[in-house]
Structure 1
Amino acid sequence: MSAAPRIVAGYTADDSGALALAGRLARASGALLEVVMVLPSEARNASVPTDSGYERFLKEQSRTWLTTASRALGDDVERALHIRYAESFAEGLIQAAHEFGARLIVVGAARGGLFGRSRIGSVADELLHSADVPVALAPAGSREVPLDLGVTRITTMIGTRPGADALLEASVRLARQTGTPLRLLSLASIDLPAGLDEHLAALTGSAHAEEVLDEARRALPEGIAASAATAAGSSIEDAVRALDWEPGEMVLVGSSRLAAPRHLFLGSTAAKMLRELPVPMIVVPRTTA
């Protein structure tokens, strides 16, 4: 078994960018890419008669799609192609991540989203509320980003809720694996209650954000340097739009406090950010092994 870290990429015939994003991450980190296509488990349900000829055709066609799509990854990305059966696409990807000991699952945005933005479909929604490994969501247009761009910066959304230590740990690990600069970001807040003095709230929020960032910088391991930034706005969406984003950037966020231990749960703040982010988002479980 390869000692390299592993990434599971969920592939569909109308791939929305998961393979392209996973390829960039694998190339930048030296990870082995496990490309997985999940077929309905009904095809193997003994209680429902199936057409064996059709099942064979579907499997062969899926292998053809996988082989053709993986050629775009070039020769620099080590990968393996797999077909799995499950009740749902998300369930199949989680099972594959466990099977391969993968550190990340990558899926694409739903069809119909704005270019450069993420629209959560049913697969991503299920993963972002139940997976026990980090999940990356590739925004629309991910296939247009050059594979050799790799990862140019990692931005970590720092907060004070439980799980912040796991998020920082995951960010440092990814920064080390990819040789990428780390940016710590605090959104100084945002979604102000009606009637609240906005000037006073902005001052208080900015001071608190700086405190949070200072604490995060002190928690960084020796040898890891990070820039720090704050962003403010009348809403989460405004704050995200006001920030600068690089084409090869990745954003890491933690799970909501509602998440079960070692599982994901996309919180409301992260969901609002996701609608405006022009770069991929990786959601990290509340705690990590």
Structure 2
Amino acid sequence: MTASGILVGYTANAAGADALAVASRLAAAADAPLEVVMVLPSEAGNSSVPADAGYERHLRAQSREWLAQASGHLGADVASKLHLRYAESFAEGLIAAAHEFDARLIVIGTARGGLLGRTRIGSVANELLHSSDVPVLLAPSGSRELPASQGITRITAAVGTRPGADALLESSIRLARATSAPLRLLSLVPIDLPAGLDADLAALTSSVHAEEVLDEARQALPDGIEATVETATGETIEDAVRALDWHQGELVLVGSSRLAAPRHLFLGSTAAKMLRELPAPMIVVPRTTLT
């Protein structure tokens, strides 16, 4: 993520502020332009109902005012532009805008009702995470409280054994380079083994398998890129995430499920379980897309 920019789906609420805060920190760290987009309901989508011109003018004016307020929270070192777009759905509008601006990442906030510091998937996130062909970053509740000066402190790549690990690793390397953040390779092998595997056999082979996966990932690193390695352990994915060390300012990358259509996202079960406990923003990467 160097030349192309970052798109943030902005809403005039806490979730929008969280998304804007994470996107702004990432844009500053990566020296990338930021496209701030508000999506309004498509006028064409309501053709069966007579349009209220006065209401539409008010909505446009109010939205522009919200965008202007949002720009006041961006650092002076972030190059940003404000946009209004119309679409049948918020997710559809964000994907179209990402294509329009050649954005390498879409950033959104969490749904209402989530725990502080955690991410709750709402309807917009769910649609994006199962249809977008652009990587999506989910900003946890409360991200706006982190100082802008915190920057990006670490990139963690959650490396599994399924197809797509190469693209995930490449995306993580590019992001670490762009932000000058250290890279951590995290193996989920001990708790991401095939269902139905004998428990004793899993315990016997998981640590060896984890080391093999991490060693392969480490050997794939290009010259000049170093990474720490860590193995997640626990009875469940959620236990493992809670037991791990997480930095403020950290970003976590995961790959898409094998069920994903070519070059599209599909949030897998392991990533969904991680998300319940993860106190850091998560980026979901299409199997064949590099951030």
Q: Give the shorter-chain TM-score range.
A: over 0.9
- The unaligned stretches of length 5 or more in structure 2 are none
2:288 alignment partner in structure 1: 287
Q: CA deviation at 1:76?
A: 1.3
1:83 alignment partner in structure 2: 84
The residue type paired with residue 84 of structure 2 is I
2:56 alignment partner in structure 1: 55
The residue type paired with residue 239 of structure 1 is A
In structure 1, distance between residues paired with 2:214 and 2:198: 25
The residue type paired with residue 184 of structure 1 is L
Listed one character per residue, the Cα deviations across residues 229-263 of structure 1 (whole Å, up to 9, x for unaligned) are 10111000001101000011000000000001110
1:126 alignment partner in structure 2: 127
Listed one character per residue, the Cα deviations across residues 131-160 of structure 1 (whole Å, up to 9, x for unaligned) are 001000000011101112110000001122
2:168 alignment partner in structure 1: 167
**Aligned CA distance change for structure 1 residues 240 and 4 (closer, same or farther; 3 Å):** same
1:261 alignment partner in structure 2: 262
Q: CA deviation at 1:195?
A: 10
In structure 2, distance between residues paired with 1:195 and 1:286: 26
- Within a 5 Å distance, the mapping from 1:134-283 to structure 2 comes to 134-190=135-191, 196-198=198-200, 200-283=201-284
In structure 2, distance between residues paired with 1:110 and 1:88: 16
In structure 1, distance between residues paired with 2:244 and 2:54: 54
The residue type paired with residue 7 of structure 1 is I
The residue type paired with residue 89 of structure 2 is S
In structure 2, distance between residues paired with 1:261 and 1:216: 23
Q: Does the aligned pair in 1 maintain the 2:154–2:182 contact within 8 Å?
A: yes
Listed one character per residue, the Cα deviations across residues 96-131 of structure 1 (whole Å, up to 9, x for unaligned) are 000000000000011111110000010001001110
SS of residue matched to 2:170: helix
In structure 2, distance between residues paired with 1:188 and 1:120: 25
SS of residue matched to 1:73: coil
In structure 1, distance between residues paired with 2:70 and 2:52: 27
The residue type paired with residue 6 of structure 2 is I
SS of residue matched to 2:73: helix
Q: Aligned residues, how many?
A: 286
TM-score normalised to structure 2 length: 0.94
Structure 1 runs of 4+ aligned residues shifted over 3 Å read: 42-48, 191-198
2:37 alignment partner in structure 1: 36
**Aligned CA distance change for structure 1 residues 56 and 210 (closer, same or farther; 3 Å):** same
TM-score normalised to structure 1 length: 0.95
Q: Does the aligned pair in 1 maintain the 2:157–2:185 contact within 8 Å?
A: yes
Q: Does the aligned pair in 1 maintain the 2:184–2:228 contact within 8 Å?
A: yes
The residue type paired with residue 235 of structure 2 is S
1:21 alignment partner in structure 2: 22
Q: CA deviation at 1:45?
A: 4.5
Listed one character per residue, the Cα deviations across residues 196-229 of structure 1 (whole Å, up to 9, x for unaligned) are 445x523311110110000011111111111111
The residue type paired with residue 140 of structure 1 is S
1:96 alignment partner in structure 2: 97
The residue type paired with residue 11 of structure 2 is T
Q: CA deviation at 1:188?
A: 3.5
SS of residue matched to 1:34: strand
Q: Does the aligned pair in 2 maintain the 1:11–1:107 contact within 8 Å?
A: yes
Q: CA deviation at 1:170?
A: 0.6
- Alignment RMSD, CA only? 1.7
The residue type paired with residue 9 of structure 1 is V
SS of residue matched to 2:188: strand
The residue type paired with residue 3 of structure 2 is A
Listed one character per residue, the Cα deviations across residues 28-67 of structure 1 (whole Å, up to 9, x for unaligned) are 1011000000000036754532011111110010000011
Q: Does the aligned pair in 2 maintain the 1:35–1:79 contact within 8 Å?
A: yes
The residue type paired with residue 102 of structure 1 is A
In structure 2, distance between residues paired with 1:270 and 1:261: 19
Between the two proteins, what is the percent identity of the paired residues?
A: 72
In structure 1, distance between residues paired with 2:52 and 2:45: 10
